[in-house]
Structure 1
Amino acid sequence: MDIQSTKIELIKTILAIENSDLIQKLADFINKEEVDFWNELSISEQNEIKKGINELDGGKRISYNSFLKKIS
């Protein structure tokens, strides 16, 4: 079954539920479900961020003004 068919079946099932407590629990679950941006990044993007954090932790930093001069 593809994702669209699954969604339709899920909606049909939800529409058939008469238990308001269960509906509220489902709504709470859906509203709390958040996508972690980290998982949306590519492996190379994750590695670059980790590298930057390690450099900062190791004391390797430049001033903001130096950074601006570097990219200008």
Structure 2
Amino acid sequence: MPDPDRAAAQAAVARIQRLSDEHWWTLHQVCLLMRSETWVGPAGRRFGDEVHAAERRLRDLLAEAVTDARQKLSTAPGRP
């Protein structure tokens, strides 16, 4: 019989992965618009820099959450 705690941990990892996949592209459309110079001038460039930085931070945090969850699952007691 599978360990209920391990099953819950596996379900949590799967949910974290799904959420990461879902939100990975959240800022992508805005970044594409910024690359095509939708907004111009100094304020537009600043906003574009902020949006690109926010996308990088978001993706770094999502990747870190998935990696951390998988690492914790791999060290959790119970059968793999």
| TM-score, normalized by the shorter chain, greater than 0.5 | no
Larger RCO: 1 or 2 (CA < 8 Å, sep 6+)? 2
TM superposition score normalised by structure 1: 0.31
TM-score (norm 2): 0.29
